[in-house]
Structure 1
């Protein structure tokens, strides 16, 4: 698939089949994330945690539902794979971990689309996750790293076939 076609077909998938994605597809998606630009080239300041363990996904879901007061909440929309992007905060570059995570997630999302795999960028559940120290420990993050963004992955219940028009939908001003 061409890049512009992948961009046009990418959408936030909110309904997944239970079938796990292949290791080969996961590795392709992860490699795309690792090719993303990272501030100051500090690749040692980012970390990926891949979760395909349904028990751990259920624990995170339960904590998220409790924190947000919604017992029916499904923060991963049934996706069987979750990739959490964590970063090491840097006083000299405030919020760099969030910017880095955004670039990594976007690369992974486009690679997933290219493979016919659905994805959705996730952020809200991280607030709940970060409030549970025991659950954070289960992620085995390197010392000083904090979750900054995540991507749910799986085979969509409806195939990714519709291309959206690529047009300017954001307000723009040009200074020459």
Structure 2
């Protein structure tokens, strides 16, 4: 029974000593957490430095796997890099073709737009000339109508003089 008490007391004393030692190292761990985060002795103390224990464990496990997997996967990744660069070159060539087609379309649309712009300017000039001619013809017609009314008034005045009292006085004399 004494042995069990002694062993329990020893384990509790060692645990308390380790806990107090860990508390004294908290500031040091906070400053150097990146360096010690994957050390198995310090991994359970992630909560003391403000980190999530499970997230830290996952990161360390994945880092170890990536280190090992990187060694194994390097040849495969080199092939993927080759395929990726080939696909990138094909994509660049397709983008160049698309840019060329866009430039051709822009040039063609510029040419067609220029021709239609010239036609529109010509039609505007013709329309302006036709409107001016219509205005001129309307004015000439107005002047001709004025002359017709002047001549008609003169003719009516002459008939009035011939049939009126003035001609009667002239015939009587």
Q: Same fold (TM over 0.5)?
A: no
- Structure 1 length-normalised TM: 0.16
Q: Greater strand share, 1 or 2?
A: 1
Q: Please identify the structure whose Cα radius of gyration is greater.
A: 2
Q: Greater RCO between the two (CA within 8 Å, min separation 6)?
A: 1
